Amino acid sequence: MLRQLRTASLRDAPHAFGDTHDGALSDDPDVFDAAAAQHAVSHTDTSFILYTEGHPAGLISACFESAAAHRAFVQALWVAPAVRHLRGGELLVNTAIEWLASEGATLIHAWVPDANVTAMRFYERLGFAATGDHARSRQVPDQWETLLMREVRGRAALASVQ
């Protein structure tokens, strides 16, 4: 399932996820199975899958960085174009935030490409704001990214942004 979603996301947004469609297809399927198994039990790195009408339609990763700051991040969000209007992206982000909060996070971060105005607006609608930090994209070095952040709020507040 993870491989299917990753390859679909790379077909849709080839430069967004630090891999290529051909690269993901050539990876041994066991690599994806091992990652999914590890994510199922990890307290520092996990993924969530969105299902629509019984079919996988989206994906997000949530993790804590390994650096001393141990910041919490949502990343690699992708929702199938045909179901983006169903607000699955919001559901995925809020689910990832809830998991990060359950693991002790109080602040959630996301790197967003400066050129992706749609993504920037999406995250701002969910309560993220720019921190002032900018960096070259690891996926596409000639592009810049902005670090966004938001505080974790209670379940009632999370539900209100859905």
Domain range annotation of the chain: 2-161
- For β-strands 107-113 and 144-151, DSSP reports them as antiparallel
C-alpha dist (Å) from residue 18 to 79, 88, 100, 150: 17, 22, 23, 24
SS3 sequence of 89-104 = HHHHHHHHHHHHHHCC
Residue 27: strand, helix, or coil: coil
Domain 2-161 sits in CATH 1.10.3470.10? no
Query: pLDDT per position in the chain (162 positions), as tens?
Result: 666 666 666 666 766 655 544 554 555 666 655 666 676 667 788 989 899 998 889 999 999 998 878 899 999 898 998 898 999 999 999 999 999 999 999 999 999 999 889 999 999 999 999 999 999 988 778 889 999 999 998 644 444 444
83 contacts 95 by C-beta, under 8 angstroms: no
